[in-house]
Amino acid sequence: MDNFYNRKYELAALDDCWQADGAQLALLYGRRRLGKTYLLQKFLHDDKPHCYFLAAQTSFQASLAELARALLAIAPDRGYTEADLSTIPNILRFVGTLAREERFVLVLDEFQYLLEQEPSLPSQIQAWWDMEGIRSKVFLILCGSHSGIMEGLGGHNAPLFGRFTFRYKLTSMSYRDIALFYDASGYSAREKLMAFGVLGGTPRYHALFDYRKSLASNICRNILSPVGLLRNETEVILLSSRLRDAGPYNAVVKAIADGCTRPNEIKQAVGVTSAQLTFYLRTLMELEWITREYPFDETSDRRAIYKISDHFVRFWYRFVARLRSQLEFHNHLEVYRSGVLPYLDDYMGLSAFEDVCRQYLRIRGAEVIGCQIKRASRYWSRDGSLELDVMAELVDGRYLFGECKWSSSPIDAHVYYNLRGKVARMPERYRTNPLYMLFSQAGFDDNLKAVAKNDGLILVSGEDLLS
């Protein structure tokens, strides 16, 4: 089946560049497995004249030779030989001849590898672009998976600053987009949300799941099995990220997965200095494995905590890493039944479902509430005695307070009254005409529904999240 879902904005933007007048220079980047290459293939599939080149970790001369062969295979009758295309200026000049009369697309994918091989490459592209490329119909797309390096190409001091006509960072898919992968599966809303909690918003991972099989079967076959394609995925990504020593990074992520969320806790668990930890945390944030989270209305780094931002990484460290010895000596189906299944609900309720609920607020909050949301996040007090899953400021000055319950049965009014009790302990400036919202995967009992009608309480079930 065609596992290409959504990305409508990105496709439309690329098509706009294709149809626009004049030369186009695009920067497309985002972490691995998000579908950048698939997006470009979808954009180019209807016979647009193009050359797609995937850079490899090799020498620069080897890369140039491969790129030259790819271009000559497209246009063998232009009188050029491979020897003629042995430098970047000559290659770009040749591309300019292909784009002299009609639009021609050149995609340089995994561009960061070419940069590592030849740091002067952006300057060479800039010289050609300013002198020749800008007057052609070329559409040059620089694509890469190292966000820090790729973002730097558009920096103020970078040679290509101000020249990009399209610049976009591809991000993870939302839980609603991911649910589209399972529309033909017969999965319940609970199972679709759980699939997002296990694999996150990475489309490549969901494309591996067979929608004709149960969710449990897919987890066992793709993640827990010795031959599962995702069994060693996190280690593969760390190694491919060109880290000098992946060990400390692995230890930091494991510490965060084990509940160490503050720098001092992580430092003690890993056994590194503060300076080393700062470097590791910054790198992991660039890789988008972890993120720094602040409580609502706070910006001080002292109040921040670190959490794993990618749900698959969190699932891998929570289950695969901890069960590795058992998986080596026992049948993975048995390990799933004893070591994964009994804890999946706790896993979903701890973080993944809260993420789904906050995404829902961003996507449909204004429509459901009837008022635009200015900002939203979690809240926790300084002394740790008070926590709220959701707190949001509305444009009309009111505040919204919410709780997220990954429950196996409909929740009752006690959850609502408990939320009101928490809000009563909040600073007075937040409590003027507050709005309340409850999220429950399994829905709500009749008594709570009646209370909601009288109090204006907003209820959102698992089915509502996907409607």
Q: Are 43 and 98 in contact (CB under 8 A)?
A: no
If asked whether residues 284 and 223 sit together in one domain, one would say yes
Neighbours of 9 (CB within 10 A): 9
pLDDT per residue as tens digits for the range 402-453: 999 999 999 999 999 999 999 999 999 999 899 999 999 999 999 999 999 9
Residue 165 and residue 181 in one domain: no
Tell me if 357 is assigned to some domain. no
Number of structural domains found in the chain: 3
Do 33 and 122 share a structural domain? yes
Mean pLDDT of the 4-11 span: 81
Question: What pTM was computed for the model?
Answer: 0.88
Per-residue DSSP letters for 189-234? HHHHHHHHHHHTT-HHHHHHS-TTS-HHHHHIIIIISTT-TTTTHH
Give the separation between CA 131 and CA 116, rounded to whole angstroms. Answer: 25
What residues contact residue 109 under an 8 Å CB cut-off, 6+ apart?
A: 36, 37, 40, 52, 53, 54, 55, 143, 144
Q: Are residues 124 and 226 in the same domain?
A: no
d(CA 39, CA 106): 15
Instruction: Give domain status of residue 462, yes or no.
Output: yes
Calpha distance 443→330 (Å, rounded): 37
pLDDT score of 245: 84
Give the mean model confidence (pLDDT) for residues 147-166: 90
* Residue entry with tokens 């969710």: 215
Reported as a single tens digit per residue, the pLDDT across 289-314 is 899 999 999 999 899 999 999 999 99
- pLDDT per residue over 108-143, tens digit each? 999 999 999 999 999 999 999 999 999 999 999 999
443 and 294 fall within a common domain: no
Same domain, 45 and 83: yes
Q: How far apart are CA 44 and CA 15, in angstroms?
A: 10
Rounded to the nearest 5°, which phi and psi values hold at 434?
A: -70, 155
The span from the CA of 436 to the CA of 456, in Å, is: 8
